[in-house]
Amino acid sequence: AAEIADQLSNVLVTEEQIAERLEELAAEVVTDYEGKDLLLVGVLKGAVMVMADFARKLPRDITMDWMAVSSYGAGTKSSGVVQIRKDLDTDLTGKHVLIVEDIIDSGLTLSWLLENFASRGAASIEVLALLRKPDAAKVEIDCRYVGFDIPNDFVVGYGLDFDERFRNLRDVAVLAPHVYS
Ligand code: PRP
Ligand code: MN
Ligand code: MG
């Protein structure tokens, strides 16, 4: 395979910036959920890194569950068809749920997920997304905790993939157009 550096245009958000922002969001979440049980729901696979790092910045008890959904496959555009590959193990009845996502791109995944969760009887449902692309939104998502608003480029790293690659990059970087065109 070609060198990783040749496949990236530029770093968009560094590992340090991510850590710092997650610390700030964690402080907000601690305040907002004081006295409440909190269930973090990570959306596999992209949210693995943000879930692991964000959860460890919370100096309190939480529980964690995972839902695996996929809409992108091997392309750079959302198919709009969301498939459940793994459902939650947890009953949401009466739970304060915070969905943890790596990115809101078109918004289709979260819009589908929020609708899917709505009938499960949670006490509250909010969203934390490390990244959001305002210019790519096809549906508006009410996201309480946003890490960074970013331009409408295809980004990889820190959990985000292109065709399952680049998830392990420490920073978030723009994928070089020659890789997918
Ligand atoms: C990516 C990303 C978000 C979603 C955002 O997941 O991790 O879950 O797309 O895009 P949207 O707002 O346009 O719906 P993907 O479907 O690629 O699955 P993955 O997390 O396993 O990579
Ligand atoms: Mn995802
Ligand atoms: Mg993906």
The pLDDT assigned to 73 comes to: 63
* 148 Cβ closer than 6 Å to some ligand 1 atom: no
Q: How many CB atoms lie within 10 A of CB 48?
A: 17
CA-to-CA distance for 73 and 164, rounded, in angstroms? 8
Q: Which residues, at least 6 apart from 85, have a Cβ–Cβ distance to it below 8 Å?
A: 44, 68, 69, 70
Inside any domain, residue 52: yes
* 106 Cβ closer than 6 Å to some ligand 1 atom: yes
Q: Which residues, at least 6 apart from 52, have a Cβ–Cβ distance to it below 8 Å?
A: none
**20 CA from centroid of ligand 3 (Å):** 24
The pLDDT assigned to 109 comes to: 95
Q: Domain count of the chain?
A: 1
Q: How many CB atoms lie within 10 A of CB 87?
A: 12
**163 CA from centroid of ligand 2 (Å):** 12
110 lies in which domain range? Answer: 15-153
Q: Stretch 172-181: mean pLDDT, rounded?
A: 94
Here the CATH number for the domain that contains residue 39 is: 3.40.50.2020
Q: What is the pTM of this model?
A: 0.96
- ipTM entry: 0.98
The pLDDT assigned to 35 comes to: 97
Helical H runs in the chain?
A: 15-32, 48-56, 108-118, 177-180
Q: Stretch 2-15: mean pLDDT, rounded?
A: 94
CA-to-CA distance for 46 and 50, rounded, in angstroms? 8
pLDDT tens, residue by residue, 95-135: 999 999 999 999 999 999 999 999 999 999 999 999 999 99
CA-to-CA distance for 68 and 70, rounded, in angstroms? 7
Inside any domain, residue 163: no
**84 CA from centroid of ligand 2 (Å):** 11
Q: Which ligand 1 atom sits nearest the alpha carbon of residue 71?
A: 16
Inside any domain, residue 59: yes
pLDDT tens, residue by residue, 142-175: 999 999 999 999 999 999 999 999 999 999 999 9
pLDDT tens, residue by residue, 42-93: 999 999 999 999 999 999 999 999 999 988 666 667 777 888 999 999 999 9
Inside any domain, residue 43: yes
